[in-house]
Amino acid sequence: MLTFVGLGLYDERSITVEGRDALRAADRVFAEFYTSRLVGTSVDALEAHHDVDIEVRDRAGVEQRPEPILDAAEDESVVFLTAGDTMISTTHVDLRLRAMERGIDTRVIHGVSAAQAASGLTGLQNYRFGKAVTLPFPRAHGGDGVPASVVESVAANRERGLHTLVYLDIKIDDGRGTEAGETYMTADVAAGLLAEEWPDRLAVAVARAGSPDPVVVADRLSALADREFGDPLHLLVLPGDLHHVEADALRTLGGAPADLLPE
């Protein structure tokens, strides 16, 4: 059996009860933290809290060399961990299909994802989000500013009146530590990049979703670029057309300026 378990958003306690039970009952536990990670904890703390040993795999060890995971799952109960929800953004459908091709039973135990948190914390209705985008560091795509693909996706959502969830780039060398070569794009940096295209557009910065002290700030992209939002992880939302309840939520929950909201 290969069980995919989402750890949720913040620390070792963010996992669901079902996921916790599967984790603690597993014969072997693998994880990846290159797509995202839990900033409120570490791998060592996860191991101690759940009394398990976790084998952290890098991108190549999951996507190109998954055999140790699959070999183990042929004979044992194996859990594969990711931050957030294991099949949203940190999707590992390919690994699941490879397991099924080898006759390995699989199941998915979901965790809370950033997409859910973005809707819940901002008050924007989940079904009114369009295609999500990831904003990379300029050096990551070999250019300056915002990639054309991101601009086009945001514009297409806007034309349809839909909100855009903007995931912010993460570069992590080692999942075990908290300072081992980790780089997180922050909301102010992201807002500054996007402000080159849309300086006066309303946006919402969300910081530390799932933590005891999440931050939600709604303002112009140019204004958000001059703010600091504290520790990671951060994301941005670019609202589309606003229902009056959504507008009220952004005003109350995010302090959105009145001149950016429909009357």
Beta strand pairing status for 170-171 and 164-168?
unpaired
> Alpha-carbon distance 97 to 35, whole Å?
19
With residue 243 as reference, give the H or E element that holds it.
Answer: none
- Binding site membership for S-adenosyl-L-methionine: which residues? 9, 85, 88, 113-114, 168, 209, 234
Angle at 83 between CA 194 and CA 231, to 5 degrees: 50
The two tokens of residue 77 are 């109960």
Please report, in range form, the residues annotated as the binding site. Answer: 9, 85, 88, 113-114, 168, 209, 234
Contact of 69 with 1, CB cutoff 8 Å: no
Q: How many residues would you count in the chain?
A: 263
Number of C-beta neighbours around residue 40 at 10 A: 20
DSSP 3-state of 141: helix
Whole-angstrom distance, CA of residue 108 vs CA of residue 95: 12
Consecutive H or E run containing 29: strand 28-31
Cα gap 226→7, rounded to integer Å: 32
